[in-house]
Amino acid sequence: MTPQLPPRVPLAILPTPLERCERLSAAWGGPQIWMKRDDLTGFELSGNKVRKLEYHFAAALAAGADTVITCGALQSNHSRATAFAAARLGLRCVLLLRTSDDNPPPLAGNYLLHHLGGAEIRLITPAQWEKRDELMAEVAADQATAGHVSWVIPEGASDALGMWGFVVAMQELADQIVSIVGKPPVIWHAASSGGTTAGIGWGVQRLGLETPIVACSIGDRSNEIAAKVQSIWDEAAATMDAPAPDIAIDYLDRHIGGGYGVITSGELAIQAEASALTGVIFDPTYTGKAIAGLRSDIAAGRYGSDDHVVFWHTGGGFAALSYDFTGIVAAAGRVADSA
């Protein structure tokens, strides 16, 4: 049985291109690398989150909400996309952002954009983050007292509703990869709150594809990501009366390094190398770590020249602007002479 698609409100610029990365493939050896450019889903609304938010905002509007509430890290791409989607649709937005720093955070990258998008920002501690769902419910209750109707979007919009963004995206990619001759391409992507992986997996099963899926964790252990994906699938299966996918996803945690948001200078250097070989920006936390992981697996001989890998670029470019690349730029000899 094919469940009916939930309503969506168009926010993303779709379809995003699938591009062949010839210079990157030649430089790194091994497989033919392709890139699914979800960094081009928009400008303010760039990245994977907007695909999921199309379903959440449709539900929010249908519920008569005038306010959306969500949460994320200080440099959260999801929170930035939520703030700007709310601004476009004329809704209020409250963001709960995690920080362990007592000092006011620098207004840079996504954290600056959260403000420019007009969101109300509340900084929360790592301990409060552990109770983020309860906290968002409390904020919604306070908003109700003030006469507002709220729609709460979970971390990363990663639930059975947001997942649809990537189920449908998988159809979009399936139409594009028909041009790839030979073995089915591997889909390699950065995984964190699990919604992207859940949607890709559901989509692959729904379409009967044989494309292997690699979920490259950027912070969590493999079993934690797998559990998040399974719980999204279980929720979706229960709400839609459809079976959860029965497919194997390759969850990798060997590239998480020091954990979420902890980036080595080696990873930054690979990210900068990938940018110079593709003309595409990566962000250190997600896509930079995932592309560095791909390079490392290629170097270990995981893929041969008859393999194709689609690197699903999930966005995040604004966060790159909050990192310090000074050492990388200096090491590459790209320091401008003073005039």
**Min dist. Cβ of residue 153 to ligand PLP (A):** 12
Q: Indicate whether 165 belongs to the interface with ligand PLP (CB under 6 A).
A: no
Catalytic choice (25, 76, 150, 322): 76
Instruction: Give CB contacts under 8 A, 24+ apart, made by 23-29.
Output: 23/277, 23/278, 24/274, 24/277, 24/278, 27/273, 27/277, 28/295, 28/298, 28/299, 29/298
Q: Indicate whether 82 belongs to the interface with ligand PLP (CB under 6 A).
A: no
CA torsion 194-274-319-232 (nearest 10°) is -10
What mask of x and - would describe binding to ligand PLP in positions 266 to 295, judged by CB under 6 A?
Answer: -----------------x--xx--------
Place of tokens 């979420």: 260
**Min dist. Cβ of residue 165 to ligand PLP (A):** 9
| Alpha-carbon distance values, 5 to 55, 58, 72, 158, 236 (Å) | 10, 12, 27, 16, 12
Q: Indicate whether 77 belongs to the interface with ligand PLP (CB under 6 A).
A: yes
| Alpha-carbon distance values, 12 to 45, 46, 55, 157, 235 (Å) | 7, 8, 11, 15, 25
For the segment 31-70, give every residue that binds ligand PLP (CB under 6 A): 47-48
The rounded distance, in Å, linking the Cα atoms of 34 and 180 is 10
Nearer to ligand PLP, 138 or 171 (CB): 171
Stretch that binds ligand PLP, among 16-24, 63-71, 172-180, 191-199 (CB under 6 A): 191-199
Q: Indicate whether 232 belongs to the interface with ligand PLP (CB under 6 A).
A: no
Q: Residues in contact with ligand PLP, total (CB under 6 A)? A: 20
**Min dist. Cβ of residue 81 to ligand PLP (A):** 9
In 3D space, the residue among 175, 180, 174, 225 whose CA is nearest the CA of residue 200 turns out to be 174
Q: Indicate whether 156 belongs to the interface with ligand PLP (CB under 6 A).
A: yes
Question: Which residues lie below 8 Å from residue 292, measured CB to CB, with a gap of 6+?
Answer: 255, 266, 267, 270, 271, 274
DSSP states of 94-141: EEEEE---SSPPPS-HHHHHHHHTT-EEEEE-HHHHTTHHHHHHHHHH
Stretch that binds ligand PLP, among 28-36, 185-193, 262-270, 302-310 (CB under 6 A): 185-193
Q: Indicate whether 195 belongs to the interface with ligand PLP (CB under 6 A).
A: yes
**Min dist. Cβ of residue 321 to ligand PLP (A):** 13
Nearer to ligand PLP, 212 or 316 (CB): 316
Q: Residue 192 CB: number of other CB atoms within 10 A?
A: 24
Active-site residue, 76 included: yes
Q: Indicate whether 303 belongs to the interface with ligand PLP (CB under 6 A).
A: no
Q: Indicate whether 143 belongs to the interface with ligand PLP (CB under 6 A).
A: no
Using CB under 6 A, pick the residue from 109, 185, 194, 212 that binds ligand PLP.
194
DSSP 5: P
CA torsion 321-36-4-156 (nearest 10°) is -20
Nearer to ligand PLP, 121 or 260 (CB): 260
Beta bridge partners of 236: none
Nearer to ligand PLP, 31 or 195 (CB): 195
Q: Indicate whether 316 belongs to the interface with ligand PLP (CB under 6 A).
A: yes
Q: Indicate whether 78 belongs to the interface with ligand PLP (CB under 6 A).
A: yes
Residues of this chain that interact with ligand PLP (CB under 6 A) are: 47-48, 77-78, 156, 158, 190-197, 283, 286-287, 314-316
Active site residues: 76
